[in-house]
Structure 1
Amino acid sequence: MIPVAPRPLAAPPAPDLGNLDLAQVLEHTPAATFVVDTDFVLRFVNRAYIELHDLAGRQCLGRPLAECVEAGNYARFHAAALAVMATGAASQEEIQLSIGGRERCFLTTRVPLLTGGVVRAVCGMLTDITDHRRTERELRASHRRYAAMVEDQTELVVRLDPQHRRVFVNQNLARLFGEPPEVLLGGFFGDRLPEAEASAMRRRLLALTLRSPVCDFRHEYALPSGETRRLSWTVRAIFDEAGRIGEYQAMGRDVSAVWQMERELSRSEAKYRDIFEHSAEGIFQFQANGAMAACNPALARILGYASPDEVMREQGDLFQRIEARPEDRLEFLRLLAKNGRVYDHEMQVVRRDGRTAWLSVNARAVLDGEDRLDRVEGAARDITDRKRAEGERMLLVSAVDQSAEGLVIVSRDFRLEYANPAFDQIVGGGQGTTARGELESRLTPFLSDSVRKMLGLGLRWSGRVRLTRPEGEEVVAEAFISPVRDGSGIVVNYILLVRDMTYELGLERRLRQAEKLEAIGVLAGGVAHDFNNILTPILLNTEMILSDMPPDNPLRQPLGDVVRASERARDLVRQLLTFSRQGERTVGELTLGPLVKETVKLLRGSIPAGVELSLRVPDAPLCVTADPTQMHQVLTNLCLNAAQAMPGGGVLEVGLAAVSAPPRPKSGTIAAGAPLARLAPGQYARLWVSDVGHGMPAGIVERIFEPFFTTKKPGQGTGMGLAAVHGIVKSYGGAVLVSSAPGQGSLFEVYLPLLSQSVC
């Protein structure tokens, strides 16, 4: 409808509708009814028409129809109405109209309204038959589907009248009987069976009631070809409203193949029952609640039972009863719920006798018609021996992989087959991630031509090999190579054991150094005592002569030189005694922080102006057992040496801190004092002095603690400063560590056992 504003029209008088009762009828008829005059002006519309076109009341009356309906609908009615006016005869047809944007089906009737034999108006009626036509279409489609289902399906379909005569057969039944459907119609159901079977079938059909309207039966049927088929029928009685049988509907199937399969199945069951009973694997079937439904003798034997009956007699969830680790059973159930199947799931169980066993389980979940778990069935294999062997093998593999010694297996032609991470660490400094080709190239030092010749003769070889790692570090490795023979004595591989001897050799070197220092200390102590005995009368007598000699005596000058030389010799003797730990000292509880600050303060005047002193001392007191004078001497010697190593200036750092454990040997570090391996566990005070001077090569660092060893020019040093440091620190159960390299400065670290704060 196209709504427009109403306007007055000079229209001819409306035709007489006959009487008022007809207008009432038209008003309430369900068909949309309207009347137009010969000018196609609306003169009457009923309620159904207003609702159909969604008109606002009856304001369309007196207006042209073209203004009240859609253009396409008006054009179609206009043409048909003109034909009615011309002929004076009513017309009717089915049309499709677009109402409110929706296509609908109507039965339209156009009736001429005559006055004195002249058409004065046309009455139009629209009856909505959309739902009717849709129902008809669906009924026809349903009929076609039903016919197709009956005719095209593989099952046999027969309809019978109450007297058991065939009134319908499908093509499949006609093909089976080898006759057209027309020949079969009218015949009795079962007329081709022996009389006894036919009578029994009729009695069963007559016994069907409203409460029991269905029956099933089977029979054999001989085809015209002589072949015998076995048919299975399901017959349903259809009752009318009075409760009488109106017809029978029978659905049949040729079950000859199924019948044959059942016979084969019976034989197969016997065969598989034999397999079930005598299988080496445990076969089981348990219900959804975990109760065992069936198991074979093998499963009973695996679980430690005498027979399957003993397993079946025990109530409750079997898996929960035998579980050794709950997580195994929970993982099994999770996989079963997720995938419906479980393959090679390994789980540990407890046998009836209390021993543990390992099982490999394959299982599947069987669901019922409502997709709920009905049962679980599967097989279990005892893998206890295999798991034990795997455990031993993995233990061996872990031991080899985690071994501190390198292990390499090479083939007969000396190609790398396996190398553990320790070998990579020893020869390359890696962590087991070096590429195979690079590892194979690092075998060359171990497999020289002479070694290969010895191994080719079936002999063993052992020796030490000096290697250079990729970063330039030198390593000494001890190697042992032996042939590996098979059961017949033929060499199939060679095994190479490699041990890093660098640390041990360093320990040996440090031990020899310590022994040498110890021997020098003993010697120095003896020499110092004897030398002191010699110096005492010289210094005493010279001083006595000087005290009695007049000031202008020319001998005072040479005697003064004797006194000064004797005093220097006395200081040297004192340093020797300190190195040999035979000098006098006052040992007690000493707080290092104030001593370090005081010593550094005193040293500032003795250190060249270009050297910057940096002090790092904590506020917390650090107490050790030591002689203050000797600790002052230690720090003074270290600081003066550091300052002299920086003639061009630099930073000299002095620090003090507490550490939680004694020091351990480090690469590129020389240790003096007490051997590091013998240091007592516990907290230590770490006193360090570092410089950025010229540094020292390794050959010099190894000798700096030897008495009288010095790199200074003659007259600039005695070589006893660091020897005294070594002796003092060692006497207190501590150690000195030195790290230095040419051009990288030096770091001296003194470690002394730390006393508890409650003592300080």
Structure 2
Amino acid sequence: MENHEKAQEQLIKELAGMRRRVADLERSEAKYRQIEKALQESEAKYRSIFENSVEAICQTTREGNILMANPVFFRTLGYDSYDEMARSITNVYNDLYVNPEDRQRIMEVVKQYGAAGRFRTQFYKKDGSKIWVSFSIWSVHDAQGKFLYYQSMGEDITELKAMEDALRKSEQECRGIFENAVMGIFRTSKDGHYLMINPAGARMYGYGSPEEMMQSVTDMAHQIYVRPEDRKTVTGLVERNGFIEDYEVEHYTKDGGTIWASVNARVVRDATDAILYYETISQDITERKRLEQRLSAMSITDELTGLYNRRGFLTLTQQQLKIETRAKQDMLLFFTDLDNMKQINDTLGHKEGDRALIDVAGIFKETFRESDIIGRMGGDEFAVFAINTTDETQKILTTRLQNNLDTFNDRSMRPYKLFLSIGVAHYDPETPSSIDELITRADTLMYEQKKGKRHFV
């Protein structure tokens, strides 16, 4: 009996133990299911990120074989599917990198630091064309530290690279223009300090280098401007209008001498409209100003119109021709006459003819720039010498002259209209011509227009 009770008690203990083990197994299974569910969710989340990332993602072996790639990656390379890409790219060293040595350099960095960030290189696309990419790459290991694969993430920067190259080229071209310009180019602060000076600008004021001038001049108003108030006038005009053109001012040079400068300037502001700096292009016009002063003592002005007479025009243009030729600047010579001058004199008298000439002179002054030289060559003939011109200048000036002439005729109460014939000769500094040759060419073109009755009306 006693043995039976002991056997029964032992059986009960074993049964309780089995129940505990079953319970433990059930708890372990539940925990396993939770872990498995979490793992599935994690894998799904990773897969979603991998598949829907806006950046190209790729996994590769040490040997350069592709293990996985997301849609952005293979589409960036021009493939329609991962399988199509996998058939073409068997090894990234040989089939993907334009410069395989780039891959080797990246791997050396990753080997040393575990990752390489934002590396730029070129990849081949499906059609054989090349693209620029920027990507990061790092090595992935398991919990025991065993290497699994390299993972990279990046983007196509071909358009960005093209814009950067274009910007760099533009900056180099601008720098070349800045350094080699024959006129002085300056950037100055509001308080009168030089921020940038090109070599021609330094030479213009007698300094050996831009650096020397920037270090020497700390107060432009008193060290550069002969009349300090002119600095305030110039900056005031620029700030009000945004720019000034052909403003003539007298400046000091390094040795205390003076020069005359023709200034073109603009103001540069930031997003809040605060002034950042002024940009200025200056031309030394000392020779012209001295010549003008000498000519002022001579009979160079046409008494009737106030323009230069033939002598003044020829003297001034010959000197300007030398200056502009040295500066390699194109120029234009306009030669015109008043078509109906004889009819006005014959029918209305010479006094009315004089009024017509004065009106034509006024139209020329309104049409042409202050830097251009305008003269009455005699009788009803006029000439204009336009300096520093471009291919578009002739069209701009002739159109402006036509419009001003039409406006005058529409508003005039005179019993006649003004009609002009015109000829234009182009001066190319590479094939120099004299003023007389330019006048002859322009005069011939003018009479061809007059003869063909293609009057400038």
**TM-score of the aligned structures, taking structure 1 as reference length:** 0.33
C-alpha change, 1:203 and 1:259, in structure 2 (3 Å) is closer
What are the within-5 Å matches in structure 2 for residues 543-622 of structure 1?
none
The 8 Å contact of residues 88 and 112 in structure 1, kept in 2 or not, is answered as no
Give the match for residue 28 of structure 1.
Answer: 52
d(CA) in 2 for partners of 1:234 and 1:254?
12
Higher helix proportion, which one? 2
Matched, 1:159 2:187: yes
For 1:55, the equivalent position in structure 2 comes to 79
1:231 shift after superposition: 1.6
Gap change, CA 1:155 and 1:264, over 3 Å in 2: same
Task: Give the alignment partner of residue 214 of structure 1, picking from 243, 248, 255.
Answer: 243
- The equivalent of 1:285 in structure 2 is 337
Q: Which runs of 5+ in 1 are unaligned?
A: 1-14, 276-282, 315-361, 382-760
For residue 610 of structure 1, what is the aligned residue in structure 2? none
State the Cα distance separating 1:41 from its structure 2 match.
6.1
Q: Secondary structure at the match of 1:122?
A: strand
In the alignment, which of 197, 210, 231 is matched to residue 201 of structure 1?
A: 231
- Which of 105, 114, 123 aligns to 2:141? It is 114
Matches within 5 A, 1:123-142: 123-142=151-170
Counterpart residue number, 1:308: 350
Matches within 5 A, 1:207-246: 208-209=238-239, 212-215=241-244, 217-223=247-253, 228-246=258-276
Q: Deviations over 1:614-672 (max 9, x none)?
A: xxxxxxxxxxxxxxxxxxxxxxxxxxxxxxxxxxxxxxxxxxxxxxxxxxxxxxxxxxx
Structure 1: distance between partners of 2:237 and 2:384: 43
1:305 shift after superposition: 5.3
Instruction: Look up the equivalent residue of 1:181 and give its one-letter code.
Output: P
Corresponding letter in the other structure for 2:122: Q
User: Do the aligned residues in 1 keep the contact of 2:58 with 2:153 (CA within 8 Å)?
Assistant: yes
Q: Residue type matched to 1:112 in 2?
A: S
Once the two structures are superposed, the pairs formed by residues 324-473 of structure 1 within 5 Å of their partners are 369=396, 372=399, 374=402, 375-376=420-421
Aligned AA (2:350): P
How many residue pairs were aligned?
302
- Alpha-carbon contact 1:88-1:119 (below 8 Å) kept: no
- Decide whether the 8 Å contact of 1:17 with 1:23 is kept in 2: no
User: How do 1:40-189 residues align onto structure 2 when only pairs under 5 Å count?
Assistant: 42-59=66-83, 66-67=89-90, 72-73=95-96, 76=100, 80=104, 89-91=114-116, 93-99=119-125, 100-115=127-142, 116-179=144-207, 180-185=209-214, 187-189=218-220
- Corresponding letter in the other structure for 2:114: A
Return the alpha-carbon distance in structure 1 between the equivalents of residues 92 and 69 of structure 2: 13
Aligned counterparts of 2:190 and 2:146: Cα–Cα separation in 1:
63
Shift in Å at residue 207 of structure 1?
Answer: 6.2
Which residue of structure 1 aligns with residue 388 of structure 2?
A: none
Q: How much does 1:369 deviate?
A: 1.5
- 8 Å CA contact 1:31–1:127 kept in 2: the answer is yes
Instruction: Using the TM superposition, give the Cα deviation of residue 198 of structure 1 relative to its aligned residue in structure 2, in angstroms.
Output: 0.5
Q: What's the offset of the Cα at 1:206? A: 4.5
Looking at structure 1, the residues matched to 254 and 111 of structure 2 have their Cα atoms a distance apart, in angstroms, of: 72
Q: How far 1:376 sits from its partner (Å)?
A: 1.0
Aligned-CA RMSD value: 4.8
The alpha-carbon distance between structure 1 residues 88 and 369, as it changes in their structure 2 partners (threshold 3 A), is closer
TM-score (norm 2): 0.52
Mapped to 2, the partners of 1:17 and 1:118 lie a distance apart of 24
Secondary structure in structure 1 of the residue aligned to 2:279: strand
* 5+ residue gaps, structure 2: 1-38, 312-334, 357-380, 386-393, 403-419, 423-442, 448-457
SS of equivalent residue, structure 1 residue 202: helix
- Once the two structures are aligned, what percentage of the paired residues are identical? 14
Residues 70 and 101 of structure 1, relative CA distance in 2, 3 Å threshold: farther
1:27, CA displacement in angstroms?
A: 2.8
Return the alpha-carbon distance in structure 2 between the equivalents of residues 66 and 129 of structure 1: 21
Distance in 2 (CA, whole Å) between partners of 1:82 and 1:220 is 65
Identify if the C-alpha distance between structure 1 residues 183 and 107 changes in structure 2 by more than 3 Å, giving closer, same or farther: same
Q: Name the amino acid aligned to 2:177.
A: M
Q: How many angstroms apart in 2 are the aligned matches of 1:205 and 1:95? A: 49
Q: Describe the shift of the 1:371–1:251 C-alpha distance in structure 2 as closer, same or farther (beyond 3 A).
A: same
1:697-712 → structure 2 map (5 Å cutoff) = none
